[in-house]
Amino acid sequence: MSLPRISIQALDAFERVAQSGSVQIAAGEMGLSISSVSHHIARLEEQMGVTLFDRSSRPFTLTHAGQKALGHLSQGLFHLRRATSETQISGLIGTRSLRIGIVEDFESNVTPELAVVLSQQMPRATLSIRNILSHEAPALLRKGEIDVAVASMGDGMGADIMGETLLRDPFVMALPDGLDVDPNALMGGQGKLSFLRFNRNHLIGKQIDEHLARSRINLVERFAFDSAQSIMAVVASGAAWSIITPLGFMRSERFAPRVRLYPLPSAAFARQINLMSRADFDEPTRRAIAGVLRQIIDRTAVVPIKGIYPWLSDSYTVLNSAN
């Protein structure tokens, strides 16, 4: 039996709509128009001879045939993406060693997969991956302690540090799930819940403080922690609310079911995650690693949360260097 000439983009569109239940969300993730995504889905259904989605419900739900197709096609897409990642980086890393510093926000999902890809493509090289804090990245690069850093951009970059954009990570409110609280009132300093902040000696803590100061918002400080996991744990317990990012939320999956995210009532702001290196580091290698990271980040840290919070579709996005 001859196989239909199905495009990979149509399969990608199908999987994204299946995960989010929304053609609009899938279109935003793929950088396509809504009509283009709808056409891809309709064409795929025509080629396969089945109806994949029940369009009478919102969000869209998979038909029985759609559920069966998703199971098989997702496996195929996974292997295609993995092959693309490995092809991108294969042959570009000719060095005998590569030392990577990466923020711990990626520790539970992105870092393990990156380690697998690089270790397979560098079988005879020395590979080191370590957790770092964003504000440490420029100094570690300049001292030669690491070759590349995956971190949030801050002060002290300078012309000697080059970067590839990876992710726009917006700040959001994190509240205990199920509590009848008004996000606007909390941001105004009202309500019984305490505000839990990141420590100010961390770049993310400084970024939040600067935004609150610009917005002339003064919140009483009771708790201040270093990690998103500790913050999520306290919020999940019902004792406080906080300002975090979707990436931090995904890092703390064990507490996520008891935490609810909301858009900031004040002006929106975001941090940017970049892959950075010294200016003398091999540019093709840096770009190849960035390409692999974008695919892993999108698949493991971005797409899953957009299915839960569709309002993040426009603000929580993987970035190319051209963005």
Tokens of 152: 């949030």
pLDDT of amino acid 155: 57
- Residue 1 — very low, low, confident or very high, per pLDDT cuts 50/70/90? very low
> Does residue 247 surpass a pLDDT of 90?
yes
Check residue 58 and give its pLDDT.
79
Least confident of 38-47, 70-79, 296-305: 70-79
Confidence of residue 293 (pLDDT cuts 50, 70, 90): very high
pLDDT bin (cut points 50, 70, 90) of residue 261 is very high
The predicted structure's pLDDT at residue 232: 92
Of 19 and 99, more confident: 99
Of 80-84, 120-124, 225-229, 264-268, the range with the lowest mean pLDDT is: 80-84
Asked whether the predicted pLDDT for residue 249 surpasses 80, the reply is yes
The residue with greater pLDDT, 11 or 124, is 11
- Is residue 275 predicted with pLDDT exceeding 90? yes
**Model pLDDT for residues 144-200, shown as the tens digit of each residue:** 899 999 999 765 567 788 889 999 999 999 999 988 888 888 887 787 888 888 888
The long-range contacts involving 140-147, CB below 8 angstroms and separated by at least 24 positions, are: 140/101, 141/276, 141/277, 141/278, 142/278, 145/99, 145/101, 146/99, 146/100, 146/101, 147/97, 147/98, 147/99, 147/100, 147/277, 147/278, 147/281
Q: What is the pTM of this model?
A: 0.71
Measured CA distances, 35 to 16, 22, 25, 40, 296 (Å): 15, 12, 12, 9, 27
pLDDT score of 84: 61
Domains of the chain: 8-88 (1.10.10.10), 95-168+273-318 (3.40.190.10), 172-262 (3.40.190.10)
